[in-house]
Structure 1
């Protein structure tokens, strides 16, 4: 089971995903949204999960922690939802 499918630490305040609607480089982000988002949201119902799709936007993931600390990771070229989950979980 992925770390994202369990309750996240209280220090995590927000999860943001950016990607392009059509770009092959954002395919993993789109797959994550389709397959993993419901389980992540169910495990973390009060956590804001923001999804931003715009043409030409590079695939990226952001985690915002308490006191405004943010970490980000490139999700470009991630080919599956599992790969996106692993990369985002590495920020925790």
Structure 2
């Protein structure tokens, strides 16, 4: 288990996964959430991990930091490993305090 996964609640206020329930573009995102949600919640039990499914939505990952600052990453065409790296990048962005809007 990656060390940064334990740091979600230390550096972020919430994360949101947005994706389509059936779209091939969202298949890696759906798979990532199915495989990793349980471990992420186990390591960060009180941390909000929101999953929003909507038909026709392009896969995205949103991170909310202190003071309402939000950053997003488009996940179209990314593999599960690349999605993990994107989430890790958002966590590391929050390590230095509130990112610039």
TM-score norm. by structure 2 comes to 0.81
Q: Offset of 1:5 from its aligned partner?
A: 2.8
Give the total of aligned pairs: 91
Which one has the bigger helix percentage? 2
Show the counterpart of 1:24: 24
Gaps of 5+ in 2: 92-101
Distance 1:90 1:4, change over 3 A: same
Q: Offset of 1:77 from its aligned partner?
A: 1.0
Q: Within 5 Å, which residues of 2 pair with 1:1-92?
A: 1-8=1-8, 10-80=10-80, 82-92=81-91
Gaps of 5+ in 1: none
- What CA distance in whole angstroms lies between the structure 2 residues aligned with 1:3 and 1:64? 20
Which one has the bigger strand percentage? 1
Partners of 2:19 and 2:52 within 8 A in 1? yes
Dislocated runs of 4+, deviation >6 Å: none
Show the counterpart of 2:96: none
